[in-house]
A and B are shown apart, each in its own frame.
Chain A
């Protein structure tokens, strides 16, 4: 039943399959970058909240500590999910496209063909820099929904892929 359409002129079976690709995991240090970022942000928010409740007179301590406790519990839960989800995150460069996979509970696989890339950038956040990591952003035309960001690449790797992509894109325009 799962032929895509009637009268297919090529055998769907013979197409290269996304599902059979070998995924390249992100650099191990990225897990730490990710978790440090997460903890800094969440603890920062918690700090502001606590400061505020101490500042306001007569804020019921029960409410304060139950919200803080819930926040802390969610932080731990997210940490576990990020930790487990790290193994899922990965990218692959095929002959004609770039792919990225992520998501433990909600998995997604995004594929962008080289011919549809407008431009690409290598970026480095403050925490990433401490670990010598970079992110590769790939932009398509129109809205931003179909753009792709691959975090947790070694600086050299990110540069290499970026150069490869721009060569591909330039070669396309030549022809």
Chain B
């Protein structure tokens, strides 16, 4: 350990496999940007090239080779090392850049492997610093033991720093053994169960979007109406009841298998460990990912089920910590297929005292329904008017479905929403078909917002939004005095004590 630590004190290059990874990244980038052009180039009918075309192609090829060279040079000009209290990275081919990332800013270090990494036997180390995005650093290729040593070293330094700062006499001794216990390991059977109970409709939506995008791009590249050609060739694609039914069935089957495959590859051999300090997650078939999360950095925990999962008693638990850019929410630790007892275990060991918290429940106002039902009535009126003027009975169905189904959904949502409060914890429970429960310690909150529309002001209601560094909670349509009391209390709780919250 000591020896490999020393390795990082001098500026050094990445493992040589990084060259291959740089090239791979480059090829992927090119393919992603230029695939329609390449497609046209491969399949065009006219094989002869005009001079201008030749010139253009030559430019493209030379440009490609040039950027390829740049990728290779980039490897030789990329150096990193650790200083006493910061990670330093020098890189850049034309413009040299020097990035210094103090350990105290580092939120977490992730060890990741995609297929190429696994073939080359290296890992990549992603260093996440909370706050402004773009201040994130990835070291593309490292030997596994180096990456692990580096991660251990940085986390250890952070720990010491934190203890020096807080001078907490109750701080645990350093030399305690790092015992890990396995909380959950998913077997192949578990994975199938989770895959089958995923939200397949969401995948179907993504497929429809992708296919349309693809047709659009290809049609643009070939300058032809591809859809028309397709329909001429396969008459069953013609608009109509049967065509629709066939397409819909096909879509669902494809979506089903795609989600299943994605679930299995993403969570393959998932292992979830707990130690006194935090949690560790390892998962993935092709892209293997390891994440470590310190308990004291956890901002909020969310667990979700859906109607199918409820039958099996399964939850997806996601653990949120401070992370740069809220759009990266997907990269939080997220574990599907947890049983009730495992959920409780994770929650109670992350948030001490939450098991014994004395929660009081609050409902939201029925005005929630009255306000949002208007937005369901609008499409109903539009469809109704269309049906009436065009004499089309087909429009009657959506005209009725929108307010009825939408209204039912809104009513159930309002009925089932609960806000639970105790002096130290805040919990919400929401959802109509499935249920999402969010729990956070009050002192983790970093900003509170009360919103009131003109509609809510007339009725003395307000919506409260609580933001933490790892995600937010929104409670709609609370009575105004309750909302204000909540805001005042949360601020009091955050401001009256100094705690290490991130």
Quick check: is B84 within 8 A (CB to CB) of the other chain? Answer: no
28 residue pairs bridging A and B, Cβ less than 8 Å apart: A2-B479, A2-B481, A3-B360, A4-B421, A4-B482, A5-B360, A5-B422, A8-B423, A15-B488, A15-B489, A18-B484, A18-B487, A18-B488, A19-B484, A106-B452, A108-B449, A109-B449, A111-B449, A111-B487, A112-B446, A113-B491, A113-B495, A141-B446, A141-B469, A141-B502, A142-B322, A143-B325, A145-B326
Provide the bound-state CA to CA distance between A54 and B453, in Å.
Answer: 41
- CB contact between B485 and one of A2, A96, A111, A175 (< 8 Å): that residue: A2
B163 nearest CB across to chain A (Å): 15
| Complex: A3 Cα to B323 Cα, angstroms | 34
Looking at A103, A110, A141, which has the most chain B CB atoms within 10 Å of its CB? A141
Q: Judge whether A16 is part of the interface by a CB distance below 8 angstroms.
A: yes
Report Cα–Cα, A118/B105, bound state, in Å.
Answer: 11
- Chain B proximity of A23: nearest CB distance (Å): 14
Q: Encode A73-111 as 1/0 by CB contact (under 8 A) with B.
A: 000000000000000000000001100000101111111
Chain B CB within 8 A of A66 CB = no
Q: For residue A114, which residues in chain B have a CB less than 8 angstroms away from its CB?
A: 495
> Which residue of chain A lies nearest to B132 when distances are taken between CB atoms in the complex?
A139
For A8, give the chain B residue with the smallest CB separation.
Answer: B423
For residue B297, give the distance in angstroms from its CB to the closest CB of chain A: 11
Cβ of B155 within 8 Å of any chain A Cβ, yes or no, is: no
Rounded to whole angstroms, the CA-CA distance of A110 and B495 in the bound complex is 15
Chain B stretch 234-261: residues in CB contact (< 8 A) with chain A: none
List residues of chain B with CB within 8 A of the CB of A22: none
Q: Which of A6, A96, A111, A172 contacts B447 (CB 8 A)?
A: A111
A130 interfacial contact with B, CB 8 Å? no
Let me know if B447 and A140 touch, CB within 8 A: yes
Select one of B130, B451, B468 contacting A107, CB under 8 A.
B451
Partner of A146, one of B324, B467, B487: B467
A108-B448 Cα distance, complex, nearest whole Å = 10
CB contact under 8 A between A4 and B360, given known A111-B447, A140-B447:
yes
Q: Of all chain A residues, which has the CB nearest B463?
A: A108
B482: chain A residues within 8 A (beta carbon) = 2, 4
Asked if B331 CB lies within 8 Å of chain A CBs, one says no
Confirm or deny: B358 has a beta carbon within 8 angstroms of a beta carbon on chain A: yes
Q: With A4-B489, A107-B452, A111-B487 given, is the CB distance from A142 to B469 under 8 Å?
A: yes
Within the complex, which residue of B360, B445, B452, B491 is in contact with A96, where a contact is CB–CB below 8 Å? B491
- Any chain A CB within 8 A of the CB of B486? yes
Q: How far is the CA of A70 from the CA of B213 in the complex (A)?
A: 32
* Chain B residue with the shortest CB-CB distance to A172: B498
Q: How far is the CA of A172 from the CA of B481 in the complex (A)?
A: 31
Report the nearest B residue to A3, measured CB to CB.
B360
The reply on A12 being an interface residue by CB < 8 A is yes
When distances are taken between beta carbons in the complex, the residues of chain A under 8 Å from B492 are 15-16
Please, how many angstroms separate the alpha-carbon atoms of A105 and B454 in the complex? Answer: 5
Residues of B within 8 A of A140 (CB): 446-447, 467, 469
- The answer on a CB contact under 8 Å between A5 and B452 is no
Contact of A105 with B453 in the complex, beta carbons under 8 Å: yes
B470: Cβ under 8 A from any A Cβ: yes
What are the residues of chain B within 8 A of A12 when measuring CB–CB? 485, 488-489
Q: A111-B448, A141-B446, A146-B472 are in contact. Are A6 and B491 (CB under 8 A)?
A: no
A111-B447, A148-B447 as given contacts; A139 in contact with B131, CB under 8 Å: yes
The docked-state distance in angstroms from the alpha carbon of A145 to that of B322 is 13
In the complex, per-residue mask of B415-443: 1 if CB is within 8 Å of any chain A CB, else 0: 00000011100000000000000000000
Residue of B nearest to A9 (CB): B423
A81: shortest Cβ distance to chain B, in Å? 12
Beyond A106-B452, A146-B472, whether A16 also contacts B488 by CB under 8 A is: yes
Q: How far is the CB of B158 from chain A (nearest CB, A)?
A: 15
Question: A-side interface residues toward B, CB under 8 Å?
Answer: 2-9, 12, 15-19, 96-97, 103, 105-116, 118, 139-146, 148, 172, 175
Q: A5-B360, A139-B131 are in contact. Are A145 and B472 (CB under 8 A)?
A: yes
Report yes or no: A5 in contact with B421, Cβ–Cβ below 8 A.
Answer: yes
State whether B495 touches A108 (Cβ < 8 A). Answer: no
Closest 8 pairs between A and B when the two form their complex, measured CB to CB: A143-B326, A146-B467, A116-B446, A142-B469, A141-B469, A146-B447, A96-B495, A5-B360
Asked if B494 CB lies within 8 Å of chain A CBs, one says yes
Q: A19-B484, A96-B495 are contacts. A5–B423 as well, Cβ < 8 Å? A: yes
Closest residue of chain B to A174 (Cβ to Cβ) is: B165
> At the interface, yes or no: B450 with Cβ under 8 Å from chain A?
yes
When chains A and B are docked, how far (Å) is the Cα of A116 from the Cα of B467?
11
Given contacts A5-B358, A141-B502, contact A17 B488 (CB under 8 A): yes
Contacting residues, chain B, for A4 (C-beta < 8 A): 360, 421, 482, 485-486, 489
Per the bound structure, the CA–CA distance linking A142 and B132 in Å amounts to 8
B74 to nearest A CB, angstroms? 30
Bits for B316-328, please: 1 = Cβ < 8 Å to A, else 0.
0000001111110
User: Of A6, A108, A116, A175, which contacts B360 at CB under 8 A?
Assistant: A6
Contacts of A109 in B (CB 8 A): 449-450, 487
Q: Which residues of A contact B348 (CB under 8 A)?
A: none
Shortest C-beta distance, B215 to chain A (Å), equals 27
B395 part of interface (Cβ distance < 8 Å)? no
Tell whether, in the assembled complex, residue B447 and residue A110 are in contact, meaning their CB atoms are under 8 Å apart: yes
CB distance from A92 to the nearest CB of B (A): 12
What residue in chain A is nearest B482 (Cβ atoms)? A2
Asked if A142 and B326 make an inter-chain contact with CB atoms under 8 angstroms apart, the answer reads yes
Q: Mark B450-479, 1 if CB is under 8 A from A, else 0.
A: 111110010000000001111110000001
Against A, the Cβ 8 Å flags (1 = close, 0 = not) of B208-238 are 0000000000000000000000000000000
In the bound complex, what is the Cα–Cα distance between A126 and B359 (angstroms)? Answer: 51
Report if A113-B489 is in contact (Cβ < 8 Å); known contacts: A6-B360, A107-B451, A108-B451: no
Contact of B326 among A7, A17, A118, A144 (CB under 8 A): A144
B447 touches A141 (CB 8 A): no
The answer to whether B360 touches A106, judged by C-beta atoms less than 8 angstroms apart, is no
B486 pairs with A106, CB closer than 8 A: no
